[in-house]
Structures are given as structure tokens and as C-alpha cells.
Amino acid sequence: MKAIKYEKPWDVACIDMEKPACGKGQALLKIMTAGICGSDIGAFRGTNGLVSYPRIIGHELAGIIEEIDESNNPKGFKVGDEVIVDPYLYCGHCYPCSIKRTNCCTSLKTLGVHVDGGMREYFLHPANMLVKKPANMDWILAAMAEPLTISLHGVHRGNLKAGEYAAIYGAGTIGVLAGMVAEAYGAHAIVIDIVQERLDFAKSVGIEHVINSAKEDVVAKVMEITNGDGAQLVMECTGANPCIRQTLDVVSNAGRITFTGWPHKETSLPTDVITKKEIDIRGARTSAGEFEEAIELITSGRVDIRKILTKTVTIDEAPETIIDIEKNPGNYLKVVVKVGLE
Ligand SMILES: NC(=O)c1ccc[n+]([C@@H]2O[C@H](COP(=O)([O-])OP(=O)(O)OC[C@H]3O[C@@H](n4cnc5c(N)ncnc54)[C@H](O)[C@@H]3O)[C@@H](O)[C@H]2O)c1
Ligand SMILES: [Zn+2]
Ligand SMILES: [Zn+2]
């Protein structure tokens, strides 16, 4: 079977490997679609410190159950069922796991990052980490549920309510999807980026306000849009240090900030502002229990996720596509690999 493997940074290939055999507690999936994530590009560049090599990538996955072991199949899945993969493997017994915060398990293993992922024709995954894909859900869109759960998790961690303003740093996949969720929740999204094309795109998918931070005074603009209050929720989806710092200036008094972006360096923050405004700051890592809502948002059309699809490619085209995304990231939002899909 074919698989997309990074032998080391800057070395991607579609390799041939043995089809795996189903083991205890596992399901053997015929992978239909697999999304290419920004983190896969970071791993290709060797700038994602969490990734070890060699590594088969792929954590945005949808497929069909070809075989399933019954020893840990709480949802009663059967051969032939169509599923989406929850890709964050947790231990189940550490403190965060004991309070159902499995996404920040002390030994969290994300597919394609800490362990081999599923951008391959057949893939083994714990049977209890599968989510039912509705029969009417397009396979291409099914692979896009995972990035939506990341944005959704940030929105949930920030407790966004209808009528509020959500200022979102970053018009990449995660920031744009966060903006689409905010609009679906009846809030007003303000997306901030330095790339005008990305902001124009964000506008075209229904984001109410966009700010180009290379040209405009972000703080003044956010204050103007929010009638002087600032944004009740600020979501950081770039990982850029200046954006992280500025979240404190655009958030309202008594507001909330969530940090989803992964910075490469630490950021110095004036904690007196946190005290004075009484800001709640929360991290937001991967997602936990958010696949069902993501699937509902997609299938109901409340988040028209197809709009962020740049293109689909075959598994043979995946390596050259990854190389091109690395060179021209501005040309892409989401690319989905049709692994088993005709
Ligand atoms: N917490 C998690 O579990 C999790 C999951 C997925 C992604 N992430 C992180 O979230 C972030 C966003 O992911 P993505 O896939 O959307 O990435 P992306 O690269 O597609 O988008 C990032 C956007 O930030 C913009 N940007 C960069 N520097 C900026 C600056 N100084 N000012 C304004 N805008 C700036 C870029 O122009 C780009 O549009 C990344 O840091 C990624 O590592 C975190
Ligand atoms: Zn991802
Ligand atoms: Zn754990």
C-alpha cells in the first residue's frame, strides 16, 4: 500500500509499505480522504519541535472500517461503517484524562506528530477513537472536520456568546474557521492578518470585519468596531509573538483570550494589564469531544467548510503538493488528498 512519509525534514515521498493487520482494540480503516495541515508543512520544514522522524504524516482522516476487533468497541461500529478519526491518543489515567481533558493528557500522542499518521491506503486506529460519519457527508468535507474541531475548541475555551465580538489573529485555516464558527454562533468576527489576499478571502466567506495589521492600527480599529469596548474574546491563531502581545490591548475589560497558535519563542507580557482588565487567558490545544459538533456544523451548512478547500489531489501528487505549499503557502488554505476516493 502507498503512504506519505517524511524520512527527515525536506524529504517527502509516496512510499510502498505492507498493509497492517488488525490487532486488539483496533479497527483497520480503508482511508478515503486525508487533509494536509499547516503542521504537516512545519514538519516538512523541520520547524515543528514536537515531530520526530522518520514519520508517516496525516491526522485529518476519514475512511471505511474494513476490520474491527471487538475488545474495545464502545460505539458498536461494524465493518463497512464510515468514520472520521479522532487523532489525539491519550493515556486515560493521568490527571487531565481523569477530568475528561484528554486533549492535554500528559503523554498525548498526535498522529503524524509523535506517532505515525494515516495518510496511507490502510490505517490501524483504536476502535474507541472513531467518530461516525453521517452517510450524506461528503468524503472531502469529512477530512476537514479535524481542523474545525481545533477552531471550535478555541471558541469553546473562550466561551463565545451570541452578540459578542471575537477578534481573531490569523487568517489561515484555523483563524478563518474560528471566524466562521463565531459568525455561526451569532457573534461578530474580526480577523486580523498581514496578508491582504487572505483577508479578502476571509471577507468572502462571511467574516464581518478584517484588519490588515501591516497597514492599519489594529488596536484603534478594534476599538472603533467594538464601540470602544474591545473584543470580549480574542483568539490567537498565528503563533506570532507581536500578535500574542497585542491580544492584551484589543481585549475588553473582563474579556477572555485563548492561545491556539504555537509560538517558536516566548513572549513577554505586561501582567499589570491582565490584572487591571481582569482578563481570563486560556490555552487551547487540539480538541476534546468536539468532533460531533464539527460534523453537525459542516453537514447543516452552518459552517460552509467547502469554501476553504483549495483543491484535492491524489496520493501520488501529495509529495509535490506538500513541496509547493511550503514554497507558496499564500496560494493554499486546505488541500485534501483523495487516498481511496475515485
Ligand atoms: N493548539 C493547537 O492544537 C493547534 C492546532 C493546529 C494549529 N495550531 C497553530 O495555530 C496556528 C494557525 O494554524 P494555521 O494552520 O491556520 O496556520 P497558517 O500558517 O495557515 O496561518 C497563520 C496566519 O497567520 C498570519 N500571520 C503570521 N504572522 C503574523 C503577524 N505577525 N501578524 C498577523 N498575522 C500573521 C499568516 O499570514 C497566516 O495567514 C499555527 O501557529 C499552528 O501551529 C495549533
Ligand atoms: Zn492539523
Ligand atoms: Zn492522560
Answer with the residue of higher pLDDT: 342 or 45.
Answer: 45
Task: Report the number of distinct structural domains present in the chain.
Answer: 2
pLDDT for res 19: 96
Number of Cβ within 10 Å of residue 7's Cβ equals 12
Ligand nearest to the CA of 90: 3
Q: What is the mean pLDDT of residues 142-165?
A: 98
Domain final position from 283, 303, 320: 283
Q: Using the 3D structure, point to which of 245, 262, 283 is the last residue of a domain.
A: 283
Span from the CA of 100 to the centroid of ligand 3 (angstroms): 9
Is the same domain home to 177 and 136? no
Q: What is the CATH number of the domain that holds 177?
A: 3.40.50.720
For 155-197, the pLDDT digits (tens) are 999 999 999 999 999 999 999 999 999 999 999 999 999 999 9
Atom of ligand 1 nearest to the CA of 48: 43
Residues 52, 137 within the same domain: yes
Residues 105-131, mean pLDDT to the nearest whole number: 97
- The pLDDT confidence band at residue 32, using thresholds 50, 70 and 90, is very high
Do 306 and 210 share a domain, yes or no? Answer: no
Residue 171 alpha carbon, nearest atom of ligand 1: 39
- Does the pLDDT value for residue 20 go beyond 90? yes
Whether 268 is covered by a domain: the verdict is yes
Domain co-membership, 144 together with 293 = yes
- Give me the pLDDT at residue 214, please: 98
211 part of a folded domain = yes
Q: Is residue 154 part of a domain?
A: no
Print the SS3 string covering the chain.
Answer: CEEEEEEECCEEEEEECCCCCCCCCEEEEEEEEEEECHHHHHHHHCCCCCCCCCEECCCEEEEEEEEECHHHCCCCCCCCCEEEECCEECCCCCHHHHCCCHHHCCCCEEECCCECCCCECEEEEEHHHEEECCCCCCHHHHCCHHHHHHHHHHHHHCCCCCCCEEEEECCCHHHHHHHHHHHHCCCEEEEEECCHHHHHHHHHCCCCEEEECCCCCHHHHHHHHCCCCCEEEEEECCCCHHHHHHHHHHEEEEEEEEECCCCCCCCCCCHHHHHHHCCEEEECCCCCCCHHHHHHHHHHCCCCHHHHEEEEEECCCHHHHHHHHHHCHHHCCEEEEECCCC
Encode pLDDT of 299-315 as tens digits. Answer: 999 999 999 999 999 99
Residues 130-158 have a mean pLDDT of 98
Which pLDDT tens digit goes with each residue over 226-274? 999 999 999 999 999 999 999 999 999 999 999 999 998 999 999 999 9
pLDDT of 212 > 90? The answer is yes
Ligand nearest to the CA of 98: 3
Best mutation site among 51, 102, 237, 250 for ligand 1 pocket (most ligand atoms within 8 Å of CB): 237
Measured from the Cβ of residue 46, the count of other Cβ atoms closer than 10 Å reads 14
Paired residues of 62 in beta bridges:
33, 84
Q: How far is the CA of 151 from the centre of ligand 2 (A)?
A: 11
Predicted pLDDT at 342: 85
Q: How far is the CA of 104 from the centre of ligand 2 (A)?
A: 16
In the reported structure, the alpha carbon of residue 45 is separated from the centroid of ligand 1 by a whole-number distance in angstroms of 15
Output the pLDDT for position 330: 86
Q: Which ligand is nearest to the CA of 267?
A: 1
CATH of the domain at 89: 3.90.180.10
pLDDT at residue 224, as a whole number = 98
Measured at the CA of 328, the angle between CA 49 and CA 119, to 5 degrees, comes to: 55
Residues 142 and 269 placed together within one structural domain of the fold: no
Mutate to test the pocket of ligand 1, among 194, 238, 258 (most ligand atoms within 8 A of CB): 238
* Spatial separation of the C-alpha atoms in residues 73 and 332, rounded to whole Å: 37
Q: What count of other Cβ atoms lies within 10 Å of the Cβ of residue 132?
A: 15
State whether 71 and 168 are in the same domain. no
| Average pLDDT of the segment spanning 290-294 | 98
Q: List, chain by chain if needed, residues with CB within 6 Å of any ligand 1 atom.
A: 38-39, 150, 169-175, 192-195, 198, 213, 237-240, 242-243, 260-262, 284-286
d(CA 211, CA 200): 10
Looking at the structure, tell me whether residues 6 and 141 fall in a common domain.
yes
- Domain co-membership, 39 together with 78: yes
Give the C-alpha separation, 280 to 255, whole Å. Answer: 6
Give yes or no: residues 137 and 94 share one domain.
yes
Calculate how far, in angstroms, residue 59's C-alpha sits from the geometric centre of ligand 1: 17
pLDDT of residue 24: 96
Pick the residue whose CA is nearest to atom 8 on ligand 1: 261
Please tell me the predicted confidence (pLDDT) of residue 324.
98
Q: How far is the CA of 149 from the centre of ligand 2 (A)?
A: 10
325 within some domain: yes
d(CA 167, CA 202): 13
pLDDT at position 49 over 90: no
* Inside any domain, residue 204: yes
Picking from 290, 253, 228, 279, the residue whose alpha carbon sits closest to that of residue 86 is 290
Q: How far apart are CA 232 and CA 257, in angstroms?
A: 8
- Looking at the chain, the whole-number percentage of residues with pLDDT higher than 70 is 100
Owning domain of residue 187: 159-283
Q: Domain boundary residue among 283, 303, 325?
A: 283
Please compute the mean of the pLDDT values over residues 329-334 and round it to a whole number. 92
Q: Tell me: do 122 and 201 sit in the same domain.
A: no
Query: Which pLDDT score, from 0 to 100, does residue 48 have?
Result: 87
Looking at the domain assignment, is residue 153 inside a domain? no
Residue 52: the pLDDT is 93
Nearest ligand to residue 102 Cα: 3
